[in-house]
Amino acid sequence: EDPEPQAAFDATIARRDRIEPRDWMPDAYRKTLVRQIAQHAHSEIIGMQPEGAWIGSAPSLRRKAILLAKVQDEAGHGLYLYAACETLGVSRAELTDLLLAGRQKYSSIFNYPTPSYADVGTIGWLVDGAAICNQVPLCRTSYGPYGRAMIRICKEESFHQRQGYELLMTMMRGTEAQRAMVQESVNRFWWPVLMMFGPPDVQSPNSARSMAWGIKRNSNDELRQKFVDMTVPQADALGVTLPDPDLRWNEERGQHDFGEPDWEEFAAVVRGDGPCNAQRLRHRQAAHDDGAWVREAATAFAARAGAR
């Protein structure tokens, strides 16, 4: 193999500059990007379900409009990410098939149910908060189209996070029953949210290589720590308790100590055995089937427009 393109690639990565679609890249770099970006895109699309379930029963027109806009944003994020992935030579149709066949993953967090309306707020505050923590560094990822997609996504995620926090703040100013709803929701989501960052660094098979390639800029544990440190004062301001008896400020480290998530539960959810995995994929498959006529019509229209 010609050593020159590899050297050019290595130099670009070393300069922390960007690799663009037409540049030469190692096969494994391309594969890793497809894996991560596809997984990210699928997460956005599957992530529409847990909150989408509340659109029909949001408690006011204002809350309904906010939630609708937010869930539509997630669809948009999925589309930017599928488009970024297509620059690597795979089609969105192929990626969707891989998801539906269970051969590509999506974030574990979306396999948890949303039985309470407070979950809409908690997802905005904690799930989107964790997503921002993980995704802001990805704006500087080494692959151009992915990094550029992340910039816009992060801006929208910040709005999502604030709307969630504002919703919870409103409920906390309400009745005793509303405050209890918020606490119950936070109790259910806290540990699964910490799992979003992925396995501990020592058990993360992809991290070292992805960081050497500049795809990931921080390790899973670094981002998890950052998220905890960022969230504790927000929980205080809100007046909720984070359900971790080991959570405390460590003066020496200048960071919080916190407990270990249940990694067996994480493994089960990633394997497909979480509370809602089957339901999420069934719903996605049904939506895909229902949308077949739209894809057919769009393809026929594009072919005719092309012929003209």
Find the shortest distance in angstroms from Cβ 252 to ligand ACO.
27
Measured CA distances, 29 to 13, 185, 235 (Å):
11, 39, 39
Structural contact between residues 227 and 129, judged by C-beta atoms closer than 8 angstroms: yes
Stretch in the footprint of ligand ACO (CB under 6 A) among 202-210, 242-250, 255-263, 282-290:
202-210
Binding of ligand ACO at residue 202 (CB under 6 A)? no
Binding of ligand ACO at residue 141 (CB under 6 A)? no
Place of tokens 């910040």: 158
Give the residue, chosen from 12, 142, 185, 220, that forms a contact with ligand ACO under the rule CB under 6 A: 220
Per-residue contact flags (x/-) with ligand ACO for residues 45 to 84, judged by CB under 6 A: --x-------------------------------------
Of residues 10-39, those binding ligand ACO (CB under 6 A)? 35-36, 39
Binding of ligand ACO at residue 276 (CB under 6 A)? no
Give the residue, chosen from 108, 218, 225, 277, that forms a contact with ligand ACO under the rule CB under 6 A: 108
Query: What is the C-alpha R_g of the chain?
Result: 21
Find the shortest distance in angstroms from Cβ 91 to ligand ACO.
20
H or E segment to which residue 301 belongs: helix 292-307
H or E segment to which residue 192 belongs: helix 176-195
Q: What is the total count of residues that contact ligand ACO (CB under 6 A)? A: 25
Question: Which ranges constitute the DSSP H helices of 90-175?
Answer: 92-100, 118-122, 128-135, 144-172
Give the residue, chosen from 12, 96, 114, 134, that forms a contact with ligand ACO under the rule CB under 6 A: 134
Binding of ligand ACO at residue 107 (CB under 6 A)? yes
Q: How far is 25 from 20, CA to CA, in rounded Å?
A: 9
Q: How far is 185 from 1, CA to CA, in rounded Å?
A: 55
> Which residues have a Cβ under 8 Å from the Cβ of 158 and sit 6 or more positions away?
132
Measured CA distances, 34 to 143, 240, 247 (Å):
11, 39, 36
H or E segment to which residue 249 belongs: strand 248-250
Stretch in the footprint of ligand ACO (CB under 6 A) among 18-26, 60-68, 103-111, 285-293:
103-111
Looking at beta carbons only, is 199 or 214 nearer to ligand ACO?
Answer: 199
Binding of ligand ACO at residue 228 (CB under 6 A)? no
Give the residue, chosen from 55, 204, 234, 265, that forms a contact with ligand ACO under the rule CB under 6 A: 204
Contact positions vs ligand ACO (CB under 6 A): 35-36, 39-40, 43-44, 47, 105, 107-108, 131, 134, 195-199, 204-207, 210, 216, 220, 270
